[in-house]
Copies of this chain bind each other. A is one copy, B any other.
Amino acid sequence: MDEISSLQRRADGSAGPIRRTALHDTLVNHLRDMIIEGDLEPGTRLHEGQLGEQLGVSRTPLREAIKYLASEGLVELVPSRGAVVKRFSPKDVHDMLTVLRTLEELAGRLACEAATDAEIAEVRALHDEMIDRYKAADRLQYYKLNQDIHTAIVRLAQNSSLIDIHAILQTRLKRIRFIGHEGPEKWAAAVSEHEEMISALEARDKTRLSEVLGRHLFNAWDRVRASL
């Protein structure tokens, strides 16, 4: 496959002025995507030799990337036996959603206080675009924009730690939510909740925004539990 060769050296006779991306860092993102998108299923062993050859890199940066992902909680390190893609039980997912809910409720309250009008308008723009994708039944882009909106609201809270932690949980859950198959009616309900979120944000009604975010993530459990 040699998938990464395109990233590793961007065939640069080109004028690419700065290429200061460390290989292990590129690998972290690449592997993370592979895990999220299901190219590497839960339980899969990450074979250093094979995987390295496949990606066209040596074992050293690959190992460093794996250690990084282990700390992120996407892979598990088994001594003398390498790394495997972590498998999440239904309870694990439920636990994550519970924490995520609490964090987003907090984010909602803070966002209403800290956000500028311009920032809120940006979130609205994301939302409108998401609605377009929804009507076009473009599930992939819909998911992506959905996540982006949640991330954007968290950013509005202006709390660096909250942004960090939220990103970690979001990443761990991406794999699940990506796969989650919802029926049309549940999909519609989720979109409706998003509508509420945006309008609460625009009204800077922190109680309502927090409540909607909480309800949204509470319902998220119902939407994904079937696929577990």
What residues make up the interface of A, taking CB atoms closer than 8 Å to B? 20-22, 24-25, 60, 63-65, 67-73, 77, 79-80, 91-92, 95-96, 98-99, 102-103, 105-106, 159-162, 164-165, 168-169
**In contact, A164 and B20 (Cβ under 8 angstroms):** no
**In contact, B25 and A79 (Cβ under 8 angstroms):** yes
**In contact, A98 and B169 (Cβ under 8 angstroms):** no
Q: A95-B160, A161-B99 are in contact. Are A24 and B79 (CB under 8 A)?
A: no
Q: Which residue on B lies nearest to A102, using beta carbons?
A: B106
Closest CB of chain B to A41's CB: distance in Å?
21
Cα A80 to Cα B19 in complex, Å, equals 11
- This chain: copies in complex: 2
| Residues on B with beta carbons closer than 8 Å to the beta carbon of A70 | 68, 71
**In contact, B73 and A72 (Cβ under 8 angstroms):** no
Interchain residue pairs A-B with the least CB separation, the first 6 = A71-B71, A20-B79, A95-B161, A96-B161, A95-B159, A64-B67
Closest CB of chain B to A172's CB: distance in Å?
8
Cα A19 to Cα B226 in complex, Å, equals 42
| Residues on B with beta carbons closer than 8 Å to the beta carbon of A92 | 160-161
| Residues on B with beta carbons closer than 8 Å to the beta carbon of A105 | 102
**In contact, A165 and B168 (Cβ under 8 angstroms):** yes
Q: Is the interface of A mostly helix, strand, loop or mixed?
A: helix
| Residues on B with beta carbons closer than 8 Å to the beta carbon of A169 | 161, 165
**In contact, A25 and B99 (Cβ under 8 angstroms):** no
**In contact, A98 and B161 (Cβ under 8 angstroms):** yes
**In contact, B80 and A20 (Cβ under 8 angstroms):** yes
| Residues on B with beta carbons closer than 8 Å to the beta carbon of A67 | 24, 64-65, 67-68, 71
Q: Which residue on B lies nearest to A93, using beta carbons?
A: B161
Cα A55 to Cα B72 in complex, Å, equals 26
| Residues on B with beta carbons closer than 8 Å to the beta carbon of A103 | 99, 102-103
Cα A165 to Cα B65 in complex, Å, equals 21
Closest CB of chain B to A46's CB: distance in Å?
14
Closest CB of chain B to A165's CB: distance in Å?
6
- Contacts A64-B64, A64-B67, A73-B164 supplied; 20 other A-B pairs, CB < 8 Å: A20-B80, A21-B79, A22-B77, A24-B67, A65-B67, A67-B67, A67-B71, A68-B68, A68-B71, A69-B71, A95-B160, A95-B162, A96-B161, A98-B106, A99-B106, A99-B162, A102-B106, A165-B165, A165-B169, A168-B168
